[in-house]
Amino acid sequence: MSPLPSATPKLGARNTRQRAAVITVLSEIDTFASAKEIHRELEDRELKVGLTTVYRTLQSLADIAAVDVLHMSSGETLYRQCVSESHHHHLVCTNCGRTEEIDGGPVENWARSVAKEFDFEVTGHDAEIYGLCAECRAARQQD
């Protein structure tokens, strides 16, 4: 099997019709989306994929780092195709959902330093920044 181009999300071991449909939807949306939103999009396209399968597929894609995952303060989990091979973080507009991938250099240094101070081995961390993008701030000022 030939390697996938970098713009194509990783499929993982199981390449089923349902999995391919979820990956196609992920590749065509620009913002983070919930499993229910992805499921709704699949239904709109008349693709028969159950909600449980969508959840399971998203989890397996997250396990192989093929999707970025955001855990919102509301408790909702959002997903987006990840094409970056390197570890990164996100700036997320809480109004429109626009997301920018950012380097986490200072966060990485801080995480290693704190772990070392308390004799921990870092196995992972999450650091996302939430706020309003310039367009949403401008729109609010005009209201």
Q: Which residues pair with 33 in a beta bridge?
A: 79
Position 138 pLDDT exceeds 80: yes
pTM of the predicted structure, to 2 decimals? 0.72
Position 13 pLDDT exceeds 80: no
Position 8 pLDDT exceeds 60: no
Identify the DSSP state of 4: P
Contact criterion met (CB below 8 Å) for 103 and 140 = no
CATH for the 1-84 domain, from 3.40.430.10, 1.10.3720.10, 1.10.10.10, 3.30.70.1400? 1.10.10.10
User: Residue 99 — very low, low, confident or very high, per pLDDT cuts 50/70/90?
Assistant: confident
Domain residue limits, the chain: 1-84, 86-143
User: Homologous superfamily of 86-143 in CATH?
Assistant: Ferric-uptake regulator, C-terminal dimerisarion domain (3.30.1490.190)
Of 30-39, 64-73, 79-88, 119-128, give the lowest mean pLDDT range. 79-88
Residue 78, classified by CB atoms within 10 Å of its CB into exposed (0-12), middle (13-18) or buried (19+), is buried
